[in-house]
Amino acid sequence: MKRLYPLFLGEACCDKEVISPGVSDGQRVHIPIAGYLVATDAGRRVLVDTGIHRSHIEDPDRTFGGTEFAAKLRPAMRLEDTVDARLAPLGLRAGDVTDVVNTHLHFDHAGNNDAFAGARFWVQRSHYQAALDNPAFPNQYWRIEGLHYELLDGETDLGDGISVFPTPGHAPGHQSVLVRLDSGLNLILCGDAIYEQDNLTHDAWEGHADPAQARESALLLVERGRRLGATLVYGHDARQWAQLRRSPAFYE
């Protein structure tokens, strides 16, 4: 048996055009920042994405203050939004996490990698290489002595019904995660391959590094979801988050 716990790891206040350009430009929106824990009876605990670094509670501008990006997106994080605080009600600590999957290494997906020195990290090789020394992927949060990265080349079965597959476009070598639950429920954690439903509804992909490739990956995600009867969980969709179970509630 295994359980999937959606973890609410804070929010960011951002311009709508950052995530869905051309839909409601000029509007400010609050978007959720998410992680997902898959826990098996056998003691495997796989965390998908680690959220923004806990220092943003004190200083929301810690990462992008003074840059052009700071005005477009501002973290809003509370003490209860740390990974530690979200794991505690499950009787877990960061040291109990055996594996971390980073969909990609943006600061809101790899911000707390430093807390998981005992885990194996699963990242696509092409992504890892693109992120090295690249200020769009602040290296201080993930390029840390003692973290053990397993670099993947394409679709990979991680065992326990969990697999990853490349969905590039948001970033080179971005990956999404398929979780097959024992009930027959399949969830695809898209990461930022699809930010929110509006990307699909309005065919809006200009918020991604390579819009044409992002669109292609998104359409393949939709097709894969249809084929597997899987629910697509988007990266930062406030409306969808309001409908999801939230840890300590879970899917199984």
Q: Which is nearer to Zn ion, 40 or 197 (CB)?
A: 197
Q: Using CB atoms within 10 Å of the CB of residue 62, give its burial: 0 to 12 exposed, 13 to 18 middle, 19+ buried.
A: middle
Under a CB-based contact definition with an 8 Å cutoff, are residues 179 and 162 in contact? yes
99 touches Zn ion by CB under 5 A: no
11 touches Zn ion by CB under 5 A: no
# chain residues binding Zn ion, by CB under 5 A: 2
| DSSP string across 156-202 | EEEETTEEEEE-TTSSTT-EEEEEE-TTS-EEEE-GGGS--HHHHHT
Of 8-16, 64-72, 104-112, 214-222, which segment contacts Zn ion by CB under 5 A?
A: 104-112
Query: What are the backbone angles phi and psi of residue 170, rounded to the nearest 5°?
Result: -60, -40
Q: Which two tokens stand for residue 81?
A: 């939004």
Query: What are the backbone angles phi and psi of residue 243, rounded to the nearest 5°?
Result: -95, -20
Tell me the closest approach of the beta carbon of residue 199 to Zn ion, in angstroms.
13
Of 86-94, 113-121, 166-174, 189-197, which segment contacts Zn ion by CB under 5 A?
A: 189-197
192 touches Zn ion by CB under 5 A: yes
Of 88-96, 144-152, 191-199, 201-209, which segment contacts Zn ion by CB under 5 A?
A: 191-199
Q: Which is nearer to Zn ion, 39 or 187 (CB)?
A: 187
Strands 156-159 and 162-166: antiparallel
Tell me the closest approach of the beta carbon of residue 106 to Zn ion, in angstroms.
5
Omega before residue 248 within 30° of 0, cis: yes
C-alpha torsion sign, points 70, 72, 78, 82: negative
108 touches Zn ion by CB under 5 A: yes
Q: Which two tokens stand for residue 150?
A: 């397993």
Tell me the closest approach of the beta carbon of residue 109 to Zn ion, in angstroms.
6
Of 32-61, which residues contact Zn ion (CB under 5 A)?
none
Q: Which is nearer to Zn ion, 92 or 217 (CB)?
A: 217
Under a CB-based contact definition with an 8 Å cutoff, are residues 49 and 6 in contact? no
Of 108-116, 148-156, 175-183, 199-207, which segment contacts Zn ion by CB under 5 A?
A: 108-116
237 touches Zn ion by CB under 5 A: no
Q: Which is nearer to Zn ion, 11 or 192 (CB)?
A: 192
Q: Which is nearer to Zn ion, 94 or 105 (CB)?
A: 105
Strands 45-48 and 99-101: parallel
**Interaction mask 142-181, Zn ion, x per CB under 5 A:** ----------------------------------------
* Residue ranges in contact with Zn ion by CB under 5 A: 108, 192
